[in-house]
Structure 1
């Protein structure tokens, strides 16, 4: 039965799909059977990326499929080692359903209060609805060069009572170009960007392992 991982957000534009693609590529590269479940049927960002990846013959192959509901996606679990669920660009009942079905949940956020506050609100809402806080991990993304700004954002999340990963993902042209070509951030052409993305993927994997080790 597949491990279920979700990338969720209260708003769009916080690299939710970037994280889903990065994670799927990391596990697929390790030989896992991985499928990305795209729940944003209007934007179809992950689905269209999957099509570009296939057209360009990228390896490893990563299957991407759109789903309107959580039960339909979970019906695929027996055929894969991991389902990476890319939620909608807003929080709704489907967001809660995904969170409740997931072994681990990533909440990407930018550094501005406009991103941080909605992220914390979503974490509070999920926790109030019965989702264990230990499953949640905030990922800081679209970061710049200010270590102080990153530290302030990390403190904001920590003081709210939630885990925030130590690795971040910066805003770089190289990542955008990779996505345009059907690659993940972990397949960026520039070595430094590729390593930074790999380090983040490794830390995300550690969070997943922490939340699934009792089921192994």
Structure 2
């Protein structure tokens, strides 16, 4: 049975798919059988990235497939060690369906209140639907150099009652270039970018490991 990890958001542009690709690559690199389930049938960002990666012959190979419903994705359960659910760029019934079957849930967010408020609202909706808050972790992306701004955003989420990861993924051209080439953030050309992404992937993995070991 595969471990199931969801990347969900209430709005687009918060590096949801960026985090999903990074997480997938980290585990695939360690010989896990990994599949990204792309539920955004309009954007298909993850699916198009997977096609670029396959065409370029980048290793490790990461399977990506588009799905319209969670039931279809769950049919893959016995064939993989890790299923990553990349949700749509908005919250709907499918978002809740994904959350209910997931072992861990990451809510990517930017630092502005325009991003933070919808993220917290989604977390509240999941909690109201019976999803354990222990499964939920907010992870920041597209951050700048202001530690004060990051600290204020972290405090905003913490006061709402949710876990916030310490590591962030800053806004860097090198990450965009890596994605355009079918690579993940920890495959960026610059060593400092690769190391920073690797540390974030490790923290996300630790969150998932803690939850699955308890289970």
Give the structure-2-normalised TM-score.
0.99
CA distance in structure 2 between the aligned counterparts of 1:210 and 1:121, rounded to whole angstroms:
25
Q: Aligned residue pairs: how many? A: 215
Aligned to 1:51: 51
Aligned to 2:185: 185
Aligned to 2:109: 109
- Give, in angstroms, the shift of residue 214 of structure 1: 2.7
CA distance in structure 1 between the aligned counterparts of 2:128 and 2:188, rounded to whole angstroms:
38
Q: Deviations over 1:190-213 (max 9, x none)?
A: 000000000000000000001100
CA distance in structure 1 between the aligned counterparts of 2:9 and 2:128, rounded to whole angstroms:
16
5 Å-filtered alignment, 1:16-165, equals 16-165=16-165
CA distance in structure 2 between the aligned counterparts of 1:130 and 1:75, rounded to whole angstroms:
24
CA distance in structure 1 between the aligned counterparts of 2:99 and 2:214, rounded to whole angstroms:
19
Q: Deviations over 1:155-192 (max 9, x none)?
A: 00000000000000000000000000000001111000
CA distance in structure 1 between the aligned counterparts of 2:3 and 2:74, rounded to whole angstroms:
10
CA distance in structure 1 between the aligned counterparts of 2:185 and 2:165, rounded to whole angstroms:
17
- Give, in angstroms, the shift of residue 129 of structure 1: 0.2
| Helix, strand or coil at the partner of 1:4 | strand
Give the structure-1-normalised TM-score.
0.99
User: Does 2:210 align with 1:210?
Assistant: yes
Structure 1: which 5+ residue stretches go unaligned? none
Aligned to 1:173: 173
Structure 2: which 5+ residue stretches go unaligned? none
Q: Deviations over 1:85-135 (max 9, x none)?
A: 000000000000000000000000000000000000000000000000000
Structure 1 runs, 4 residues or longer, greater than 6 Å off: none
| Helix, strand or coil at the partner of 1:100 | helix
